[in-house]
């Protein structure tokens, strides 16, 4: 990136067009904030200060305590919505050292159960 150029915060999000998420599990929470653009919403989501929510972006800025992979969530086609989910939360692979990985894959390519991050057994970090 060149000097003076600002990074587009939408690069951290995976876009799925014409899709909205509906919570079936009523304990899942949603917060909403009116912002002028999708980019402003993504920037606010990327800061994520003081929010205990997994942040997602739609045309209206919503912070959801869930994503498209969460149990108790239904996907619905809707031409009025574009869903933007933080890539770290829906990616099925580890990038770099995996510090930001929040996906759901817990076995290796060969089918071996992954070691818990907080465990030093059977291998040290």
**Which of the two residues, 95 and 112, has the higher pLDDT score?**
112
Give CA 36 to chain center in angstroms.
Answer: 21
Structural domains of the chain, ranges and CATH numbers in brackets:
9-89 (3.50.4.10)
Q: What is the pLDDT of residues 35-90, one digit of tens each?
A: 878 888 888 777 765 555 666 655 567 778 888 888 889 999 988 778 888 887 78
Q: What is the pLDDT of residue 13?
A: 86
Element (H, E) at 46: helix 38-47
Q: What is the pLDDT of residue 24?
A: 92
Q: What is the pLDDT of residue 73?
A: 92
Cα gap 78→72, rounded to integer Å: 19
Q: Is the peptide bond before 122 cis (omega within 30 degrees of 0)?
A: yes
Q: What is the pLDDT of residue 52?
A: 58
Residue 106 has pLDDT above 90, yes or no: no
């Amino acid at each position: 990136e060149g000097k003076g150029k600002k990074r587009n915060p939408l690069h951290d999000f995976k876009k799925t067009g014409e899709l909205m998420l509906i919570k079936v599990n009523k304990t899942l929470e949603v917060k909403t904030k009116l912002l002028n653009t999708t980019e402003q919403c993504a920037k606010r989501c990327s800061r994520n200060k003081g929010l205990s929510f997994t942040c997602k972006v739609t045309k209206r800025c919503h912070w959801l305590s869930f994503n498209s992979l969460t149990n108790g969530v239904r996907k619905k086609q809707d031409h009025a919505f574009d869903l933007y989910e933080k890539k770290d939360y829906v990616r099925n692979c580890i990038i770099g050292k995996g510090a930001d990985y929040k996906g759901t894959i817990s076995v290796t390519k060969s089918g071996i159960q992954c070691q818990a991050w907080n465990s030093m057994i059977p291998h040290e970090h």
